Chains A and B, each alone.
Chain A
Amino acid sequence: MKYLSIILVLILMALVSCRKEPQSVYSGKDGIVFYYIQGAERDSVYYSFRESAVVENKDTVWVKMRLIGKLSDRPRKIKVVTAEGTTAIEGTHYILPEINLSANSFLTKYPVVLLKHPDIEDKTLRLKIQVADTEELVTGTVGHTGRTGINLAHYIINFTAGLDRPNYWQDYYLGAYSDGKYEFIKEVIGTYDFGGYSFYQFINLNTRLNNKLKERNDKYGSPLLDENKAAVTFPFL
């Protein structure tokens, strides 16, 4: 009898397990988030008006956004505001316009307008942005999505009108950062942006910079000085 009870219980469990689960679907308000692709992109960006190829009094940084929810056959308003930790002033240093997510679209780019104000010549400001909830779109679910995508509640833009140490600067190849050194690198390679350099290109960059610096110093008979009146040097690798 004892065994019969166990068998009956097992049969019942098996029957219950065959019961169809309800479809798991998202419900609730549609959301929108910032996002980036791991490896190729980051959760923040550095921008310098000086490093920009086109010198203007304002420029736009485009931040990628994606819909978390259902598509709509009509445009929906996206509102972005600053978050705690922002050091820039709205209207003086930046503008966050209202935009629409187009009908039947789940991806867009949000235009953060940066303003070149004289007070950022020698300092870097931080602009931390987040989605403001509206009737139609709220902050969506954050975290990993897919294999390499990361959804974010906040996105950070560090910007200046002068020069600043870029996040891809590597002391091992370039030595300690200085604006004067950065300007010299730009003079040699023609751009401030070498963020995409491979390991090999970084090693080669070091050799090239040392040679060019020696040529320059030999030509003028004195060492190149940076903004701190220190001689510009690179490690010998």
Chain B
Amino acid sequence: MAVLSCTGLLACKKDNKYNNYTPTNELTVVGPTAEILIEQQKVLTINPQITESIQGGGPYTYKWEIYRSIDLISSVEISKVNPITTATLLSTEKNLNKVITTKPGNYFVHYTITDTKTGLNTEVRYPVLVTGKYYEGWWVLEERAGKTALSFLRKDDQLFNNLIAVENPDLTLNGKGVAVYTALHKGLEEVNFFTDQEIYRFSANDFSLLGKSADFFDAPISTPISQAYYKVSAENGPQFIISSGFAHMGWSPSSLGGGPYSDRFTGPDNYSLFPFFAQGASYYALFYDNYGKRFLSTAYQRKNLSLIPKNTSPGITFDMSAVGKTMLFADRGPRNEYFYLMTEDGTDRYLCSVFPDKREGNGIMDKLTNAPEIDKTVAMATSEVNRHLYYATTNKIYRYDVEAKSAKLLYTFPAGTAVKDLKMLKGQGWGVPDLMFNTRLVVATHNGTEGEIYYFDLELIGDIKNNTFSKKFGGFGHIKQISYRYPNVEI
């Protein structure tokens, strides 16, 4: 007990005999405070202000590295137990002035200053978003002087004309442009560009050519290609191409590295698919056969178009196995309800809907008697917030309210202007959310002299804000189609 008491007393004794504390030089680094946005292949410059707590420190060495969060073993902080495993050294200069060549994505630029006299490190890092040149915006498929061209209207309103020729000067397109679709999911950043003779696959980031049909089809695709459509499945597995009435399936790179597209799906004799399909919990992929005038479906990873069982329930709005109408336009509405504009005899128009999440998938089948000029529709899009259908005739935009069963004229373009395409800016169901989704209608027109793109922003109730467009872009050729390029999805 006495020894323990003495030890305790000695522990309390102030010891200032053997340790002298000398203040060390500490550095304060002031650099960018917000996320840095840099386009791939552009120079990233950071000139941090460095202040010493004690003058005359150093000499210093400097190190700039770039890495992603997933390059760290755990968490997002670098430490001895959590080192960078695959960082790229950018520079050993005091200031960073370096071309960024990493692929698009979210990164950290990590700055380390080492005082060679004391060996102490001062470290700061800056979040950096590296984007491709064509990171988000609208692809505009057009014809200029009879030749197919593709332009890109970027989200920041910068316009890039004729980018196939600009980015691939040695490429001569085989055939006339038919459609363009972005293939965007985790690890999938491509653009499928259809001509009537060929499908081209480009990088969505820099638009470099990645391949042609023969490179990603097991068997030659039927030509001429028409009525082309592309969509990757929600779970980033199968990818679908519909072309000339036939469906083909390939696999996204996230599925064991990806796989080639199949030959056309097997199915009922002479089937001819409308270029669109719905996906849901009960119907993995729900197609519409304009030859048999009925819905057909396939199960996951299957390539045989199966007949829908006949629905004999009393009081049903329609039987999906025997619709008896021709599909003209299609788009997805709220709560995964898919809307289809159909005709029976070429004059009457019907609004049909299905719920692919339900086994009894049939929704409405309304004859449109209170929708002016619906028989002159050239393009259609639906909101995913309201049960609203927007349709464009030659030079007018109408909104059809599914609940009220009536249409309202929203906008009239000047005489001589013809609508070529109309799309709702909406999400894919995955990826980066955007507050603008379902609040902007985008319309492509031709005014007799040049092609134009209009942005119409919508009120919550679905009307056009201020009854006019919010932005307008001219200088295009004859626009055939517009299609959205979504931002990359972080892996």
Contact = CB atoms under 8 A, between A and B. Distances in A.
Interface of A: 198-201, 203-208, 210-211, 214, 236-237
B259 A207 contact: no
Given A199-B256, A208-B218, A236 B262 contact: no
A152 B27 CA distance: 67
Interface residues of B, number: 16
B304 A203 contact: no
10 shortest interchain CB distances as A-B pairs: A200-B259, A236-B304, A208-B263, A204-B262, A204-B218, A207-B262, A207-B303, A210-B266, A207-B263, A208-B219
B260 interface: yes
Given A200-B260, A204-B218, A237-B304, 10 more contacts: A198-B259, A200-B251, A200-B259, A204-B263, A207-B264, A207-B266, A207-B303, A208-B218, A237-B301, A237-B303
Contact of B259 (A201, A206, A237): A201
B263 A203 contact: no
A205 B262 CA distance: 8
A26 B219 CA distance: 55
Interface of B: 218-219, 251, 256, 259-266, 301-304
Per DSSP, chain B at the interface is: loop
20 contacts: A199-B256, A199-B259, A201-B259, A203-B303, A204-B219, A204-B259, A204-B260, A204-B261, A204-B262, A206-B303, A207-B262, A207-B303, A208-B219, A208-B262, A211-B263, A211-B266, A236-B304, A237-B302, A237-B303, A237-B304
Q: Report which residue of A199, A205, A211, A214 has the largest number of chain B beta carbons within 10 angstroms of its beta carbon.
A: A211
A206 B304 CA distance: 10
Q: Report which residue of B219, B260, B266, B301 has the largest number of chain A beta carbons within 10 angstroms of its beta carbon.
A: B266
A201 B263 CA distance: 11
Contacts of B259: 198-201, 204
A237 B262 CA distance: 12
A201 B218 contact: yes
Nearest to A237: B302
Contacts of A210: 266, 304
A203 B262 contact: yes
Contacts of B260: 200-201, 204
Contacts of A204: 218-219, 259-263
A119 B303 CA distance: 42
A59 to B, nearest CB: 30
A65 to B, nearest CB: 35
Nearest to B265: A207
Nearest to B251: A200
B301 A203 contact: yes
Nearest to A214: B266
B266 A236 contact: yes
A148 to B, nearest CB: 21
Contacts of A201: 218, 259-260
Nearest to B266: A210
